[in-house]
């Protein structure tokens, strides 16, 4: 199987992007896939959520040419992780003036051999770093809360994906939208979901990630939800999502 590179994007913060990157990755790993997680966010929430603190090397040092990708990744509960750092802010500033600035991550990930999936946790903005992720990716995964304002953001994401596809990466496609933090008791959640099904042509995954206290707790213990509480609704939802992902 050829390595599948997936950019997990949403330009808003707090949308379940990091949670989805970690837990979908963990679920794919439990299903026998070799998974590499890339923390492309200068806030490094993914690294923090997996208790990877003060790593010897980070993604920023690879961008700067100081180290190879293999020098940076660490193993955590069956996953391989390239940690992020706030130095990615400096990387982003330096990339602005570089020729082919959108292709740096694509070249970096060419070093990653033997993985089934590479999941990229993108910054909460449509930035140069996110542009790098979209240029490097085969697929885009969009975690989406069922809120009115997220619909406006979805249009922006789709427009950006189309521009990147046209300019840099003709193979790029939207794998689908993952409904996250879903509260079946809220009428608004159901209404926004119905609107999506009626007005969005992209795939909406059948499995919804329900609101779940255990999902919120897991990062405090430096674990994915599947390692923290495999019997929770959150763990069951992400495992089911991974199975649907592999089937689609």
pLDDT at 162: 94
Over the Cα atoms of the chain, what is R_g? 17
Is the pLDDT at 235 greater than 80? The verdict is yes
| Confidence band of 1 (pLDDT split at 50, 70, 90) | low
Query: The sheet that has 79-82: what strands, in order across it?
Result: 74-76, 79-82, 35-39, 117-121, 4-8, 139-145, 173-180
Report phi then psi at 147, rounded to 5. Answer: -125, 150
| Confidence band of 126 (pLDDT split at 50, 70, 90) | confident
Instruction: Assess contact for 135 and 102: CB atoms under 8 A.
Output: yes
Note the pLDDT tens digit of each residue in 215-234: 999 999 999 999 999 999 99
| Percent of the chain residues topping a pLDDT of 90 | 85
Token match 């300019």: residue? Answer: 167
Report CA-CA distances (Å) from 20 to 65, 84, 108, 189.
29, 17, 23, 19
| Confidence band of 185 (pLDDT split at 50, 70, 90) | confident
pLDDT at 147: 86
Q: How many structural domains compose the chain?
A: 1
Range 58-84 average pLDDT? 95
Mean pLDDT of the chain, nearest integer: 94
pTM: 0.96
What is the domain range of residue 125?
4-247
Helix (H, G, I), strand (E, B) or coil at 133: helix
pLDDT at 54: 87
pLDDT at 60: 96
pLDDT at 194: 93
Is the pLDDT at 14 greater than 80? The verdict is no
Report phi then psi at 13, rounded to 5. Answer: -80, 160
Pairing of strands 117-121, 4-8: parallel
Q: What is the CATH number of the domain that holds 240?
A: 3.40.50.300
Note the pLDDT tens digit of each residue in 15-57: 789 999 999 999 999 999 999 999 999 999 999 999 998 898 9
């Amino acid at each position: 199987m050829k390595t599948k590179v997936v950019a997990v994007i949403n330009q808003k913060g707090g949308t379940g992007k990091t949670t989805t990157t970690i837990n979908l990755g963990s679920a794919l790993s439990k299903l026998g896939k070799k998974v590499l997680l890339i923390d492309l966010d200068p806030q490094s929430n993914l690294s923090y959520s997996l208790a990877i603190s003060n790593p010897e090397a980070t993604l920023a040092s690879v961008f700067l040419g100081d180290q190879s990708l293999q020098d940076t990744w660490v193993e955590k509960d069956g996953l391989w992780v390239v940690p992020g750092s706030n130095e990615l802010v400096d990387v982003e500033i330096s990339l602005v003036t570089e020729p082919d600035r959108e292709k740096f991550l694509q070249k970096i990930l060419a070093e990653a051999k033997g993985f089934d999936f590479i999941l990229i946790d993108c910054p909460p903005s449509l930035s140069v770093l996110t542009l790098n992720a979209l240029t490097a990716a085969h697929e885009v995964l969009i975690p989406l809360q069922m809120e009115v304002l997220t619909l406006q953001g979805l249009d922006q994401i789709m427009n950006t994906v189309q521009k990147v596809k046209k300019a840099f990466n003709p193979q790029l496609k939207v794998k689908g939208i993952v409904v996250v933090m879903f509260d079946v008791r809220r009428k608004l959640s159901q209404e926004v979901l119905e609107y999506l099904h009626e007005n969005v042509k992209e795939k909406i995954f059948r499995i919804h990630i329900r609101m779940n206290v255990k999902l919120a707790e897991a990062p405090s213990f430096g674990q994915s939800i599947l390692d923290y509480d495999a019997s929770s609704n959150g763990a069951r939802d992400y495992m089911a999502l991974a199975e649907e992902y592999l089937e689609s």
